Amino acid sequence: GRPILDMSYSRHFLDFQGSSIPSAMKKLVVTALSPDFRRAVALRREVPVPLPGDGELLVRNRFVGINASDINYSAGRYDTSVKPPFDVGFEGVGDVVALGLSASAHYSVGQAVAYVKAGSFAEYTVVPAKEAVPLPSVKPEFLTLMVSGATAYISLKEMGGLSEGKKVLVTAAAGGTGQFAVQLAKAAKCHVIGTCSSDEKGGFLKSIGCDRVINYKTENVESVLRKDYPEGVDVVYESVGGKMFDLAVNSLATKGRLIVIGFITGYQNPTGIEPIKAEFLPAKLLKKSASIQGFFLNHYFSEYKMALQHLLKMYEKGELVCEVDLGDTSPEGKFIGLESVFRAVDYMYMGKNIGKIVVELPHSVNSKL
């Protein structure tokens, strides 16, 4: 007989009564390659809302995450073959507002989901159903786990060799991913040292269990480490780069491990890197049987679902603080709307945030009653 449903009509997707999906939306687009996010990115206003295909969800974004690497992406450093214009933003949390037929086997309209996929700096994003993560509700806290939490979890599990009593140094410890490195190392019964740039951040770090906080604006990190940890540290979770990287290498213990998560100090440079004093690196590593390993989340997607499930469980049990910075204390106030993504990126590079920077996208939601 004939097929029960004719899918040849490509606009066939399930919508829900009373939710009006507009035909146009706003989104951020990289229009010129530059590490200066404001120069690279433009806000486009009348973009057609994309339609989900058979195995896809249309997500109305409610919260989007800011990452240090947003400016590496806008500078074209990840995939040199991609030419502008292209979409930007790596992660979002929102509601499913429409979906393709086979996606409807596992999802329904109105469901809360999170995802990691380029193009989240938009009012609506199409997400493959198999890459979405169903959530109990739309909360910015869940967003902190998607990139920042997963990065800390997988890198420390794969490369940290954590065990009770190990000394772990976390740089930029009060930042989006640092907060998780601190807490996961504490959960593994390690002694955790965290660097930060203000007393307020230091207070936050103490509240999540950091054993020794070093405010590098008021203390000399090198002398503190030399004095208090003469044997060195076993693991460094390093995302700052430049001088901090050099200092971290010098502070490694015998068989110490340094995990390179990023080097935020270099991203705004034209080359994207901050020079380091690496000429003695082979000798330093040899002398200590130490190692340096890079970590890029994209290479670990096989571990991703497991990591996320573990983190979600910890959060739901109250074992994990997911600190969100929505910009309430920033000069122009809370980060609301796509326009404020630019401010949020600046705020991150000024080193002002405590926890993960998240931008809220408000919606005039039609009443479902």
Q: What sign does the CA torsion over 44, 45, 47, 51 have?
A: positive
Do both 219 and 293 map to the same domain?
A: yes
- 3-class secondary structure, 331: coil
Q: Spell out a b/e string for 242-255, using b for 16 or more CB atoms within 10 Å of the CB, else e.
A: bbbbbbbbebbbee
Do both 84 and 156 map to the same domain?
A: no
Do both 126 and 155 map to the same domain?
A: no
Looking at 262, 284, 299, the residue that finishes a domain is 299
- 3-class secondary structure, 169: strand
* Residues 66-125: tens digit of each pLDDT: 999 999 999 999 988 999 999 999 999 999 999 999 999 999 999 999 999 999 999 999
d(CA 150, CA 153): 5
Residue 355 lies in a domain: yes
Do both 157 and 252 map to the same domain?
A: yes
Do both 75 and 203 map to the same domain?
A: no
Do both 58 and 107 map to the same domain?
A: yes
Do both 108 and 172 map to the same domain?
A: no
Residue 14 lies in a domain: no
Start-to-end CA distance of the chain, whole Å, equals 40
Residue 177 lies in a domain: yes
Predicted confidence (pLDDT) at residue 367 exceeds the cutoff of 60: no
- Whether the model clears a pTM of 0.85, i.e. scores above it, the answer is yes
Residue 162 lies in a domain: yes
Do both 97 and 184 map to the same domain?
A: no
Do both 193 and 131 map to the same domain?
A: no
* Residues 188-207: tens digit of each pLDDT: 999 999 999 999 999 999 99
What domain range includes position 347? 24-138+323-360
| Among 369, 365, 359, CA closest to 70 | 359
Give Cβ neighbours of residue 241 (< 8 Å, ≥ 6 apart): 262, 263, 264, 265, 266, 273, 274, 276
Do both 172 and 283 map to the same domain?
A: yes
Residue 257 lies in a domain: yes
Do both 247 and 340 map to the same domain?
A: no
Number of domains the chain contains: 2
Residue 127 lies in a domain: yes
Residue 289 lies in a domain: yes
Do both 187 and 88 map to the same domain?
A: no
CATH number, domain containing residue 331: 3.90.180.10
- 327 — pLDDT class (breaks 50, 70, 90): very high
* Residues 269-311: tens digit of each pLDDT: 998 888 899 889 999 999 999 999 999 999 999 999 999 999 9
CATH number, domain containing residue 267: 3.40.50.720
